[in-house]
Amino acid sequence: NAGVTQTPKFRVLKTGQSMTLLCAQDMNHEYMYWYRQDPGMGLRLIHYSVGEGTTAKGEVPDGYNVSRLKKQNFLLGLESAAPSQTSVYFCASSYLAGQTGELFFGEGSRLTVL
Amino acid sequence: SQKIEQNSEALNIQEGKTATLTCNYTNYSPAYLQWYRQDPGRGPVFLLLIRENEKEKRKERLKVTFDTTLKQSLFHITASQPADSATYLCALVTGGFKTIFGAGTRLFVKA
C-alpha cells in the first residue's frame, strides 16, 4: 500500500520555467491538498480539492494552478516559476474533511527556483 | 490576526524524562486539534486528535490536553526515548476543509 506518492522528489528550475508536481493516492480518499513548507513558517495550504473535478484556493494560491481530473490524482502546476516559490511541497489526502480527517502526507517534493 | 504559535526553540531532554510541547493559538475557534510528527526529509505523520469538548487524550506514551479558555494545547511524551527525536506539529481544524499548521517544535532526546 503506497499511500500518497509525489513526483518528482527534487527539481531545479530557472525563473520563468514551468513545471507540474504530481500527487497520487491509492486510499480512495475524497479530499486532497497541496501545502508548501518553509523554514519557520509551518505548512501553508496552497489549493485543495473536495472531490474529482473540484478545486479551491487555500491560503497562498497565487502563482499556482491545480487540477483533479481523476480522484486519485492531484496536480500542482507552476506556470512561471519565481525564486519565492523555492520550497518543499507536500501533498496530503484525507477520507473525511475537517473533523476527524487526519491528513496522510507524501514524502515531499523539494523545488529550487534559481 | 490569526496565529498558531509553537516553541521555536528546540527542546532538549534526557532519555526517560517527560517532554512537554506547547501550542498556543489566537483568533481561532477550532473544533479539533491535531498533533503530527515530522522526521527530517519526510512528510508529517498523524499522531493524535482531540476535540474541543475533550480535556485530555492519551495514546500509549502520548498525552494531549486542550484548553479552549486558555487557547492552548499541551503535548506530552512520557518516558521519552532517542527515537522520539523529531519535529512535532500542532494543527487546528477550524471547520470546513482547512487544517492550519503551526511551525513545529524540534525535540531532541539524549541517551
d(CA B46, CA A12): 30
Residue B24 pLDDT > 60: yes
Q: Which of A41, A45, A107 sits opposite B43 (nearest CB)?
A: A107
pLDDT at A98: 52
The answer to whether the CB atoms of A35 and B8 lie below 8 A apart is no
Which residue among B43, B49, B101 places its CB closest to the CB of A42? Answer: B101
- What is the per-residue pLDDT across B51-103, written as a single tens digit (0 to 9) for each? 888 989 999 999 999 998 999 999 999 999 999 999 999 998 876 667 889 99
Q: How far apart are CA B103 and CA A13, in angstroms?
A: 26
CA B45-A58-B54 angle, to 5 degrees, is 50
Asked whether B91 and A33 are in contact (CB, 8 A), the reply is no
What is the rounded CA–CA span in Å between residue B1 and residue B27? 7
CB distance A45–B31 less than 8 Å? no
* Share above pLDDT 70 across residues of chain B, in percent, rounded to a whole number: 96
State the cell numbers at A87.
520550497
- Please give the grid coordinates belonging to residue A60: 497562498
Using the predicted structure, report yes or no on whether residue A99 has a pLDDT greater than 60.
Answer: no
pLDDT of residue B26: 87
- Residue numbers in A near B8 (CB within 8 A): 40
Contact residues, chain A, for B104 at CB < 8 Å? 42
Q: Is B41 close to A58, i.e. CB distance below 8 A? A: no
What's the confidence (pLDDT) of residue B7? 85
| List of chain B residues whose C-beta atoms are within 8 Å of the C-beta of residue A98 | 31-32, 93-99
pLDDT score, position A54:
94
